[in-house]
Amino acid sequence: MTVSGEEVPPQHQVFINYRGDELRKSFLGFVVKAMREAKINVFTDEIEVKGRDLQNLFRRIEESRVAVAILSERYTESSWCLDELVKMKEQMDQDKLVVIPIFYRLDATNCKRLVGTFGDNFRNLEREYRSEPERVKKWKEALISIPQKVGLTLEGHRYF
C-alpha cells in the first residue's frame, strides 16, 4: 500500500473505519492530521470507489496492525462500514489486529445495546438486508464486540 507515494510498512499502519458522509470533512481530518504529524502511517478509504473496492479495503485491514473504528450516530446507516467492522473483528479475534473504538458524539452504551438513533439506523439497515441474515448477524456481533474494547468517547464541538 502507498500513502503519499511511499511504501507503507504494515507494522506502522493504522486503518481508520468511519462513516464518510458524517465525518470525512470534519473530525476525521483532525485525526488523520494528528497521526501523520506523529509520523503514523494512516489509511482511510478516500480513494476507494464505494461498492467496487471492498475487497481492496479488506486487504488494507489485513495489512494493518491497528484499526480505529470511529463509531458515530449515522455509522449504522452504512453496510460498507459494518462490513469493514466485521473484517476488523475477524482479524482481532485471530490476534492479527488491535481495534480501538472511538465513540464520536455517541454514548458507548447506545452502541453496545443498539439503542437510540444508532440502534434505529441499524434496524433500518437490518430490514433492508433481511434476505442476508448471516451478514446481519455478523454486523450485530461486531457492533456488540468492538465497543467492549477500551475506547474513547468524544462529545461536543471542540474539535472543529
Q: Is 84 a catalytic residue?
A: yes
Q: What is the DSSP string of 82-127?
A: HHHHHHHHHHHHTTS-EEEEEEESS-HHHHHHT-HHHHHHHHHHHH
Q: Centre a 10 Å sphere on the Cβ of residue 139 and count the other Cβ atoms it contains.
A: 23
Annotated active-site residue in 22, 77, 84, 126:
84
Instruction: Identify which of 143, 142, 63, 158 has the alpha carbon closest to the alpha carbon of residue 105.
Output: 158
CB count, 10 Å around CB of 144?
Answer: 14
Catalytic residues, by residue number, are 84
